[in-house]
């Protein structure tokens, strides 16, 4: 497995790979853009590091939020399917109550 700085297992942690890739692209764009505007090498490197941190954290939090939201939706769907199987054709079936009351 590929570990970033020996700590972050990029292959097995959801969102880690995309966040690092977008962060590195953001650092290149920010640093190169700042260098083209000001021609200051040291400050451009600082801007590049800051761009890496900001873009990586932004992508990380956005991806993890969407990942958590998807997991909640999956859990709700799984519980709904389980309840459908459990209560189907019983007196507790909500569809049976609506069908019998409408006829």
What does the pLDDT look like over 61-70, one tens digit per residue?
999 999 999 9
What pLDDT shows up at residue 101?
A: 61
What does the pLDDT look like over 11-24, one tens digit per residue?
777 888 888 889 99
Contact 38, 44 (CB under 8 A): yes
| Model confidence, pTM | 0.69
Handedness of CA 82, 72, 7, 41 (dihedral sign): positive
Considering the chain, what is the average pLDDT of its residues? 85
What pLDDT shows up at residue 95?
A: 72
Contact 18, 59 (CB under 8 A): yes
- The mean pLDDT of 70-94, rounded to a whole number, is 85
- The mean pLDDT of 41-58, rounded to a whole number, is 94
Where in the chain are the domains?
15-90
What does the pLDDT look like over 21-46, one tens digit per residue?
899 999 999 999 999 999 999 999 99
What pLDDT shows up at residue 99?
A: 63
Contact 19, 60 (CB under 8 A): yes
């Amino acid at each position: 497995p590929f570990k970033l700085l020996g700590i972050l297992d990029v292959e097995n942690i959801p969102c880690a790979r995309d966040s690092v890739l977008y962060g590195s692209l953001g650092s290149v764009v920010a640093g190169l853009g700042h260098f083209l505007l000001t021609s200051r090498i040291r400050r451009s490197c600082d801007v590049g590091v800051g761009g890496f941190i900001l873009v990586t954290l932004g992508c990380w939090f956005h991806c993890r939020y969407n990942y958590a939201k998807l997991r909640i939706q999956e859990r709700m769907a799984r519980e709904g399917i389980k309840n459908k199987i459990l209560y189907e054709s019983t007196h507790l079936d909500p569809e049976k109550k609506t069908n019998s009351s409408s006829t």
